[in-house]
Chain A
């Protein structure tokens, strides 16, 4: 179901949207799935805040604890660690003392690679927009939307390793095996679309990110909350196309007959939720065949849109296509889309002077285009866009100052959020004078998660999942806060 472009989430709308979803989807739903949907809807309507963790699971659209600002999220995950001091967080003092010893203690990464010699940024910074936030010359397109973003300069995981830090940001803790943010949102809100998966992951032609499929794992939640992978090349979704001879009427007849057999089988096994889930899963798959094909078809977009995302430039074409698809998916009711890169392109231990411009070139224009495009369509208000990695980089050099790079830094780095109820034109938090540690208004990974849950209408401590007899949450009882200062209405 397409999201209305003027969908300002006023309280009334918020409830209407839910009902509209039901009416629209009746036509496509099997009676069993529908019956269960309706009964659950009744249950939820009386009890908006489900007090107890659930024991049966589906993707029915659900209401959060309170009125949400965001209804969907696109996370542009920049794993590897973009160098905040070269991109988003200017440090005059560091530049001034280029080549000198770092005066304090450095929290090095696991393997001590970096030196203690300060490395000023070789790139120039300039103020942009009405807000006057300073950004690097490497991000000219971001500069154009700087009044729409909330730049957080005080992100903190305290972990310098990629995998653990990614897990901390994406799953609430650094240990493996936990559900990802997308799983939590899907678990909490269900699917807004009845023909597309709720949680989509878009992988890079360069391969999976580090830690592979764990990045979109449902952990100990049921697998319906796992991210569905859209591949970087055709076919973007495997087995999506029916064989030529079957497509159309024949497959439809097949599925109708299959549905008949399955429902009769289910009548003898009421209460076996797996059987029911599989019936729905065939129904979703059938709808996905046309819906996903349509959603992935960017040929319907105008030439201007293609140009906006840089699809006419070989350097931005691939990432731009994915950003554009992400917008099309969100527009069609996908709840959470996360884009990954392959091969750790931001992880610049070497050649930061030559490599950083390249990665920026590849991603800057499409990224800014996404925000512009969402805004132009009135979708930015309800769509939260996230850009950021799991770490930043150290102010000291690794290797030769001319040809070398910078090592990992989980003590302080930048991310930005846009739309979805976040204040635009804000630069929030600070790192120290060298950019090593977040010192003012530190936003730890759990604060970031608590804030996102808040934007989606959840008390992060109350959206729980019962696992091994314990009620678990995304932030799992760890001390953290909703960063109210960055909320548009906070």
Chain B
């Protein structure tokens, strides 16, 4: 009742307030529709009152005058009179928006103020308005959608230690705050920093000596070049890319979590691409559309073409349960598509487009239609109506000759198998006849033979009853040897021959790829609320509207007639990498910066939209993006630029005065200390102990559950961590404890956690115990019983620097204390067992103490954090 009344009053109010229908255009209004109100409505209201073809209650909130005109319930706003505005009444009463998500009080206040001020707009509103929300000039003006603009680089005096434009751009901001760069770090610090940053492996003893001995002025620059040329560089930086690509060695989605036997080739492709400094634009084109660069049919492939096909593994990283027991297959197929779009958009566009799957993006100008247009780019390859499962998508690497050879082998096998079956039949007949002969009643013998030769389903009940009384007539290949003892051996010879023949068959290897079935041009529909069971209307492939200037939208032909496949992905990839995309280069340089400094210039590397954080140094971001593209998309050139800058070379030591001004080091007045990534902690431990294998590439090293259920390496435990199998359901305990991702879709940024469980792992875990012993063996092996030399070596292998005399003295005290204790508490040697060789002698107290020291070094902060 109450509501109807209110409503009636409002109606009169609206009717009598016709004068307020006139525009109130105030370009300088502190609260305007365009700047504050529309973003609120976009978040909370437009799903029902704006973006659709029809509007709930016929109320359209996209224009001020439409709000005044109102809907079925009359005017929504009454300019100047917030308390009489029905829109506000319903919001305040918590009735709108319906559902859980309500407006925060601040937003309600903003709307009140706006209406009270007469509901001003900045611009005059258009006469006509089409479907959807469109993109307003305010939304277009958002920094991330502007073209990259190379800033002017300020010039500084020599004493400001500016080495590169990066330094100049940073210092420009620092100076205002009274900050300046810290001094360069020591040469050994730089050596360790550069090694761990670029390769993830600490310098060897020789490398330490050589670098210290090199007193040429460009020794540091040449060090960077040397490290960039190292094959281990790709293992380190490839890993960063695999995070955003969502790399996993299993399909996920269902509890089966089927293994992906060929995914590792994509991992190897990434490592090689980084090592080769493959121009990043090319790297992206290959990953999005490598298959379209290789002529069809995809047979008898050259190594170059294999590489291009393997690159498309990028689009095959999303979880795919369509072959491993997903309940609802249509849902599972569409989920593969949704995950792939998430991976593509967060890794390359720095945008979270996922929410536009169900409705227009609530924060950024990405319409639901945009989302499905982007989806259309991938639809021909991921056609959910003509789905191909992971095994149906594999490409065989058989050449024509190999295929022919394989067929010949199989023909040979068939011939032998036929021969074997014939012989088996002969033997069965022989056995049967012998049994018949054993029966005195000849007629019964004949009858049993006939029953035997009658197929089981044709036998009469009487036959069966009779037959069952004579179980010795139940002769079959399985029990034949009980009748003819030599038959087993004789038939086994055939099997051996078959196995021998099969050995000649070439091994069939496969690629995990994304490709299209030629001629398949599926339609893409916008799904109402993201539900594939509710297609609404068809859309054409295109890039996101906001990523191109107004009127220059990238539309992609539905079917490139010059190609056997649609060419959509290739067209999209080429457009994306044309050097004018507002996001791509910024996103990539931001990621490189993030891994060098521990935080991005944009701190949310996968969300450059309004829900993310703005860049701390926008000019620097643009300068780097522009330079990156100009350098021919060379990531190595970018590393060189960053690492030869003063900002990177600074010491990490603290400075009280600067700490007071900028405690969070927002301005980069020192080099941030960064904890090693999970994989690098493990790799470094192996490098220090001397166990690290230099082997590269190949199938993943399997993992297993240990006796308490932790996932550990189940094969060669000396390989670098990047080569350990990443099965979604079996994340390796040591790595995940230190924040390595457990892939659901992909990992946009790793958190850095500090937890007691990590400490327990480093205090008591098997891996570190074992490696500490190896480390101690290595020290004894290299330095004999000379404890001071052992310690010097230990410090260099763990910390990449010599120990100070004070450190050595102090450590000797520690060791002596331990040795004294260990001598008092010797290990009881295991009893010698009869007939077995002597057990190895127990370790000496000196060795045990040294291993304990190694354990301490490997778990210390100087080891775990890079300055």
Q: Which of B106, B672, B764, B818 contacts A253 (CB 8 A)?
A: B818
Which residues of chain A (402-455) have a CB below 8 Å from chain B? none
Decide: A168 near B100, CB < 8 A? Known: A223-B753, A253-B818, A281-B754. yes
Segment touching A, from B425-433, B547-555, B683-691, B855-863: B855-863
Closest 6 CB pairs of A and B: A223-B753, A285-B759, A477-B104, A239-B760, A277-B754, A270-B654
Q: Which of A55, A238, A255 contacts B761 (CB 8 A)?
A: A238
Q: Which of B104, B604, B673, B859 contacts A258 (CB 8 A)?
A: B859
Asked whether B645 is an interface residue with its Cβ less than 8 Å from the other chain, the reply is no
Contact with A along B650-665 (1 / 0, CB 8 A): 0011101001000111
Asked whether B305 is an interface residue with its Cβ less than 8 Å from the other chain, the reply is no
CA distance A468 to B352 in the complex (A): 15
Q: Which of B759, B821, B822 contacts A282 (CB 8 A)?
A: B759
A-B contact pairs, 12 of them (CB 8 A): A168-B100, A224-B753, A228-B755, A235-B708, A238-B710, A239-B761, A239-B764, A246-B764, A269-B867, A274-B673, A274-B752, A281-B754
Contact with A along B843-867 (1 / 0, CB 8 A): 0000010001101110111101101
CA distance A245 to B851 in the complex (A): 12
Q: Quick check: B814 and A257 within 8 Å, CB to CB?
A: yes
With a CB–CB cut-off of 8 A, which chain B residues contact A269?
A: 652-654, 673, 867
Q: Quick check: A243 and B659 within 8 Å, CB to CB?
A: no
With a CB–CB cut-off of 8 A, which chain A residues contact B860?
A: 258, 261-262, 265
Instruction: Find the residue from A241, A255, A271, A288 having the highest chain B CB count within 10 A.
Output: A271
Total number of residue pairs linking A and B with CB closer than 8 Å: 159
With a CB–CB cut-off of 8 A, which chain A residues contact B811?
A: 257
Q: Quick check: A241 and B764 within 8 Å, CB to CB?
A: yes
CA distance A234 to B708 in the complex (A): 7
With a CB–CB cut-off of 8 A, which chain B residues contact A277?
A: 754
With a CB–CB cut-off of 8 A, which chain A residues contact B656?
A: 270
Size category of the A interface is 35 or more
With a CB–CB cut-off of 8 A, which chain A residues contact B754?
A: 222-224, 274, 277-278, 281
Q: Quick check: B763 and A251 within 8 Å, CB to CB?
A: yes
Min distance, Cβ B758 to any Cβ of chain A, angstroms: 7
With a CB–CB cut-off of 8 A, which chain A residues contact B709?
A: 231, 233
Asked whether B827 is an interface residue with its Cβ less than 8 Å from the other chain, the reply is yes
Q: CB-nearest residue of chain B relative to A213?
A: B742
Q: CB-nearest residue of chain B relative to A266?
A: B861
Asked whether B406 is an interface residue with its Cβ less than 8 Å from the other chain, the reply is no
CA distance A243 to B761 in the complex (A): 11
Asked whether B714 is an interface residue with its Cβ less than 8 Å from the other chain, the reply is no
CA distance A257 to B853 in the complex (A): 9
Q: CB-nearest residue of chain B relative to A277?
A: B754
Q: Quick check: A278 and B100 within 8 Å, CB to CB?
A: no
Asked whether B765 is an interface residue with its Cβ less than 8 Å from the other chain, the reply is yes
CA distance A49 to B818 in the complex (A): 49
Contact with B along A213-243 (1 / 0, CB 8 A): 0000000001110101001011101111111
Which residues of chain A (271-288) have a CB below 8 Å from chain B? 271-272, 274-275, 277-279, 281-282, 284-286, 288
With a CB–CB cut-off of 8 A, which chain B residues contact A278?
A: 754, 759, 861, 864
Q: Quick check: B710 and A224 within 8 Å, CB to CB?
A: no
With a CB–CB cut-off of 8 A, which chain A residues contact B827?
A: 245
Asked whether A314 is an interface residue with its Cβ less than 8 Å from the other chain, the reply is no
Q: Quick check: A479 and B94 within 8 Å, CB to CB?
A: yes
With a CB–CB cut-off of 8 A, which chain A residues contact B764?
A: 239-243, 246
Decide: A274 near B865, CB < 8 A? Known: A226-B755, A269-B654. yes
Decide: A238 near B102, CB < 8 A? Known: A257-B856, A268-B654. no
With a CB–CB cut-off of 8 A, which chain B residues contact A271?
A: 654, 659, 663, 665
Min distance, Cβ A247 to any Cβ of chain B, angstroms: 9
Asked whether A197 is an interface residue with its Cβ less than 8 Å from the other chain, the reply is yes
With a CB–CB cut-off of 8 A, which chain A residues contact B763?
A: 239, 242, 251, 255, 282, 285-286, 289
Contact surface of A with B, Cβ cutoff 8 Å: 55, 158-159, 168, 173-174, 197, 222-224, 226, 228, 231, 233-235, 237-243, 245-246, 249-251, 253-255, 257-258, 260-262, 265-266, 268-272, 274-275, 277-279, 281-282, 284-286, 288-289, 468-469, 476-479
Q: CB-nearest residue of chain A relative to B822?
A: A250
Q: Quick check: A479 and B102 within 8 Å, CB to CB?
A: yes
Min distance, Cβ B610 to any Cβ of chain A, angstroms: 10
Q: CB-nearest residue of chain A relative to B742?
A: A213
Contact with A along B784-823 (1 / 0, CB 8 A): 0000000000000000000000000011001001100110
10 additional A-B residue pairs with CB within 8 Å, beyond A253-B821, A278-B864: A228-B756, A240-B760, A240-B764, A245-B848, A250-B852, A253-B818, A261-B857, A272-B654, A274-B752, A477-B106
CA distance A150 to B727 in the complex (A): 45
Min distance, Cβ A425 to any Cβ of chain B, angstroms: 32
Q: Quick check: A249 and B859 within 8 Å, CB to CB?
A: no
CA distance A282 to B654 in the complex (A): 23
Q: Which of B102, B604, B848, B864 contacts A468 (CB 8 A)?
A: B604
Q: Quick check: B673 and A281 within 8 Å, CB to CB?
A: no
With a CB–CB cut-off of 8 A, which chain A residues contact B760?
A: 237-240, 285, 288-289
With a CB–CB cut-off of 8 A, which chain A residues contact B739?
A: 223
CA distance A223 to B739 in the complex (A): 10
With a CB–CB cut-off of 8 A, which chain A residues contact B94?
A: 479
Q: Quick check: B757 and A228 within 8 Å, CB to CB?
A: yes
Q: Quick check: A261 and B862 within 8 Å, CB to CB?
A: yes
With a CB–CB cut-off of 8 A, which chain A residues contact B639?
A: none
Q: Quick check: B733 and A238 within 8 Å, CB to CB?
A: yes
CA distance A289 to B861 in the complex (A): 21
CA distance A205 to B139 in the complex (A): 51
CA distance A279 to B762 in the complex (A): 13
Decide: A222 near B100, CB < 8 A? Known: A468-B604, A477-B105. no
Min distance, Cβ A129 to any Cβ of chain B, angstroms: 35
Asked whether B444 is an interface residue with its Cβ less than 8 Å from the other chain, the reply is no
With a CB–CB cut-off of 8 A, which chain B residues contact A477?
A: 102, 104-106
Min distance, Cβ B138 to any Cβ of chain A, angstroms: 19
Contact with A along B605-618 (1 / 0, CB 8 A): 00000011100000
CA distance A469 to B614 in the complex (A): 10
Q: Which of B100, B654, B848, B852 contacts A478 (CB 8 A)?
A: B100
CA distance A262 to B755 in the complex (A): 16
With a CB–CB cut-off of 8 A, which chain A residues contact B708?
A: 234-235, 238
CA distance A7 to B665 in the complex (A): 44
Q: Quick check: B756 and A288 within 8 Å, CB to CB?
A: yes
Min distance, Cβ B186 to any Cβ of chain A, angstroms: 11
Decide: A468 near B612, CB < 8 A? Known: A168-B100, A257-B856. yes
Q: Quick check: B818 and A250 within 8 Å, CB to CB?
A: yes
CA distance A155 to B502 in the complex (A): 67
With a CB–CB cut-off of 8 A, which chain B residues contact A246?
A: 764, 769, 852
Min distance, Cβ A214 to any Cβ of chain B, angstroms: 10
Asked whether B751 is an interface residue with its Cβ less than 8 Å from the other chain, the reply is yes
Q: Quick check: A158 and B861 within 8 Å, CB to CB?
A: no
Min distance, Cβ A411 to any Cβ of chain B, angstroms: 13
With a CB–CB cut-off of 8 A, which chain B residues contact A223?
A: 739, 751-755
Asked whether B720 is an interface residue with its Cβ less than 8 Å from the other chain, the reply is no
Q: Which of A238, A240, A258, A275 contacts B865 (CB 8 A)?
A: A275
Decide: A281 near B756, CB < 8 A? Known: A249-B821, A265-B862, A266-B861. yes
Asked whether B719 is an interface residue with its Cβ less than 8 Å from the other chain, the reply is no
Contact with A along B102-125 (1 / 0, CB 8 A): 101110000000000000000000
CA distance A246 to B860 in the complex (A): 17
With a CB–CB cut-off of 8 A, which chain B residues contact A251?
A: 763
With a CB–CB cut-off of 8 A, which chain B residues contact A197?
A: 756
CA distance A61 to B810 in the complex (A): 35
With a CB–CB cut-off of 8 A, which chain A residues contact B864?
A: 278
Asked whether B232 is an interface residue with its Cβ less than 8 Å from the other chain, the reply is no
With a CB–CB cut-off of 8 A, which chain A residues contact B675?
A: 274
CA distance A268 to B861 in the complex (A): 12
Min distance, Cβ A297 to any Cβ of chain B, angstroms: 18
Q: Quick check: A281 and B604 within 8 Å, CB to CB?
A: no
Min distance, Cβ A329 to any Cβ of chain B, angstroms: 15
Q: CB-nearest residue of chain A relative to B94?
A: A479
